Amino acid sequence: MSTWNFAAVWEVVADVQPDAPAQVQGDRRFSWRQFERRADAVAAWLLAQGIAPGETVAQLLYSCPEYLESMFAAWKIGLPPVNTNYRYGGDELVYLWDNADVGAVVFHGEFTARITSIMDRVPRVTRWLWVDDGSGPCPSWATSYAAVVAAAETAPVDASGSAPATVAPWGRSPDDLYLL
C-alpha cells in the first residue's frame, strides 16, 4: 500500500528543486526548501502542542503563504486541514469547527475579536497560531506564527541542505483528507 499523500508529493518537489520558487505573494518569495522548512516548523509545533489523530487544523486566513504552509504542515502529520471562509460569523465558525473536530486554528490577526467572542463555544480548539497582518498584537492566548517558523531558519540540515521531514508517530496515509 502506498504511503503517499499531498505532503509526500510536495516533499519530493522540495528535494528535486529546492531553490525553485514555490510561493510568491507581492514581495514575499519562498523557495521549495523554505516552503518545506516552514511547514515542518508548523507541523513540529502542532505535535509539541499535543495535537492528536482525529483532530483537524483549520485555516481562517486570507490568501497568503501561511495558508499553504499550514495545510502542508497538517498533511505532514496526517491530519486534515479545514478551509474556513473568512466571511463566516461566530455561529458558522462554531458549527464548522465543532463538527470538523478542529484542534488547532491558524488565523490572521484581523479575526482575533471574532475568535475571542466564540472561544468558550469551541473548547476542543486549544491551539491558536496567529499570523501577523498588521491589525494588532498577538493575543496572549495564541502563538505567533512568525516565531514558530523562525525555528526553521536554524533547524539542522543534512548534507543536501534539507531538514528532516516532520512526521507524526501515527504516520500518514494516502487517504488523508482535506475538509473543504
**Closest to 113 (Cα-Cα) out of 84, 89, 95, 146:** 89
- Confidence (pLDDT) at 24: 96
| Run of H or E residues at 30 | strand 28-31
What number is the average pLDDT over the span 40-47? 95
What per-residue string of b and e applies to 107-141 under the rule 16 or more CB within 10 Å gives b?
Answer: bbbbbbeebeebeeebeebbbbbbbebeeeebbee
- Confidence (pLDDT) at 155: 66
Could you tell me the pTM of the whole model?
0.90
Give the cell for residue 148.
Answer: 514558530
What number is the average pLDDT over the span 86-111? 98
The answer to whether 35 touches 62, Cβ cutoff 8 Å, is: no
What number is the average pLDDT over the span 46-51? 96
- For residue range 53-96, what is the model confidence (pLDDT) as tens digits? 999 999 999 999 999 999 999 999 999 999 999 999 999 999 99
What number is the average pLDDT over the span 29-52? 95
- Confidence (pLDDT) at 1: 42
User: Can you tell me the distance from the alpha carbon of 176 to that of 52, in angstroms, rounded to the nearest whole number?
Assistant: 14
- For residue range 115-169, what is the model confidence (pLDDT) as tens digits? 999 999 999 999 999 999 999 999 999 999 999 999 877 766 665 555 566 777 7
Backbone angles phi, psi at 27, to 5 degrees: -85, -5
